[in-house]
Chains A and B, each alone.
Chain A
Amino acid sequence: DAGITQSPRHKVTETGTPVTLRCHQTENHRYMYWYRQDPGHGLRLIHYSYGVKDTDKGEVSDGYSVSRSKTEDFLLTLESATSSQTSVYFCAISEGTGLNQPQHFGDGTRLSIL
């Protein structure tokens, strides 16, 4: 999606190291989300934000933290990466929660933790 940039697109790191993934949007949307995608599980919500400095947990938030200091940026941090956090991570944005405000997704970050 042209309005959402995830960085890095690929990363390989070692167990126990900190990792930060960045999501940047140019749409000025209020809501931003982090998901992880794993085979057999679909997409599962990690954390989301409903405004600057306003965040909340999703269904698989353990081991992850987020920050949103600007409307356009939403950071996902793994404080001490574990092999179970090897996954593909997607950022999504939406204007609001109405039916005509669906979520739009970035192209993902493939994270491998050895």
Chain B
Amino acid sequence: AQSVTQLGSHVSVSEGALVLLRCNYSSSVPPYLFWYVQYPNQGLQLLLKYTSAATLVKGINGFEAEFKKSETSFHLTKPSAHMSDAAEYFCAVSYFGNEKLTFGTGTRLTIIP
């Protein structure tokens, strides 16, 4: 069985501050991990994905995530928040040969001017 837990359904940060969105996973086999972003009234857009080649993964819009096996975590960060980062963010897990993604419950990010 696989699952992800996103800590904090709502996160607020000031413009220019560090963004940290937390995701912990549970998987009995080596996981594939993803972060998706959803802007209002839109579908989900892939931000980044974890490959076993590198534990630090860089994605679009200046976001990155670090895979830490010892902590079963895949937290999403961005050094300096922009107003345009306001959205809902979803962590998801899968594994090799599995056609299904399991999503976390999402974190809504608000940027304070």
Contact = CB atoms under 8 A, between A and B. Distances in A.
Interface of A: 1, 4, 31, 40-45, 48, 50, 58, 90, 92, 94, 97-99, 102-108
A28 B36 CA distance: 23
B26 interface: no
Interface of B: 9, 32, 34, 36, 41-46, 49, 51, 90, 94, 96-101, 103-106
Nearest to B46: A102
B46 A97 contact: no
Contacts of A103: 46, 101
B43 A42 contact: no
A45 B101 contact: yes
A77 to B, nearest CB: 21
Nearest to B51: A99
Contact of B99 (A1, A50, A108): A50
Most B Cβ at <10 Å: residue of A58, A92, A102: A102
Nearest to A1: B43
Nearest to A98: B96
B107 to A, nearest CB: 10
Contacts of A105: 36, 43-45
B52 to A, nearest CB: 9
Contacts of A41: 105
Contacts of B94: 97
Given A99-B32, A99-B51, A106 B43 contact: yes
A40 B9 contact: yes
A102 B100 contact: no
Contact of A104 (B9, B46, B104): B46
